[in-house]
Structure 1
Amino acid sequence: MLTACGSEERESAGDQDPSPTATQAPVKTQAVAADSAPAAFATCRSCHSVEPGKHGIGPSLFGIVGTRAGDISGFNFSPALRNSGVTWDRQSLDTWLQGPMKMVPGTKMVIGVSDPKKRQEVIDYLETLK
């Protein structure tokens, strides 16, 4: 039977199988981390993933805290960032997020977070991605 928008017929609850099937995948831990991101991370999400190894315009940020800048495999970092000698900790991330191109001239990242409170929220969140 054809129906118009908003007037489709629905099966009764007794006709549906509410039990999960063997083909349904379990929820990933990274999905939980992504869901707990602060609102301040929304801008970051447009270029960065929080899933291990899943790079976008920018590298995945999973496990970034404690690593050397430009040292995540599978992403093509700028020579400037690769050779910067920076290790990502709270202080370096705060400086970076204030102005990436000021901290490392020649880097590819151009967007920063000017609000100190929002920067701290982003850094707090990045520390949870392990």
Structure 2
Amino acid sequence: MPLPAAKPPDGPTLFKQQCATCHTTNTTDPVRQGPSLYRVLGRHAGRADGFKYSAGFANADFVWDEARLDAWLTNPQAMIPGAVMAYRQAKPETRAMIIAYLKELN
């Protein structure tokens, strides 16, 4: 009997596997190593209540949108020198699914 085909991961699953160690998606959980990503699209970079950002964010003068999140997930330190985030995602399709999930939270 053949095994069923593996279901490709969706945005919430990818977020849980790759992002949830450091980030929450609500405002009720305690702050983790990174800020809550609830309603991150449209938020000014480096400004989330209750989170102390790294020095690199002091000069971040933009609002998070899909293109900026994509660049950030590709290479955080290239986008904001001095930022403290070790995660990088080379696969555009994985970034797109995570960003689509974050968009749902707005």
TM-score interval for Structure 1 and Structure 2 normalised by the shorter chain: 0.7 to 0.9
The alignment status of 1:52 with 2:33, answered yes or no, reads no
CA contact (8 A) 2:11 2:100 kept: no
Which amino acid in the other structure matches residue 98 of structure 1?
T
Deviation at 1:94, TM superposition (A): 0.4
The alignment status of 1:39 with 2:13, answered yes or no, reads yes
The alignment status of 1:125 with 2:91, answered yes or no, reads no
Higher relative contact order (CA 8 A, sep 6+): 2
**CA distance 1:87–1:53, shift in 2 (3 Å):** farther
Query: Structure 1 segments of 4 or more deviating over 6 A?
Result: none
Partner of 2:72: 96
Larger radius of gyration between Structure 1 and Structure 2: 1
**CA distance 1:93–1:87, shift in 2 (3 Å):** same
Deviation at 1:79, TM superposition (A): 2.3
Q: Which runs of 5+ in 1 are unaligned?
A: 1-35
49-58 or 85-94, larger mean C-alpha shift? 49-58
Deviation at 1:93, TM superposition (A): 0.3
Which amino acid in the other structure matches residue 57 of structure 2?
L
Using structure 2 for the length normalisation, give the TM-score. Answer: 0.82
Q: Which runs of 5+ in 2 are unaligned?
A: 1-9
Q: State the Cα RMSD in Å.
A: 1.5
Structure 1: distance between partners of 2:66 and 2:92: 12
The alignment status of 1:79 with 2:55, answered yes or no, reads yes
Deviation at 1:102, TM superposition (A): 1.1
Which amino acid in the other structure matches residue 13 of structure 2?
A
Deviation at 1:53, TM superposition (A): 5.3
**CA distance 1:53–1:64, shift in 2 (3 Å):** farther
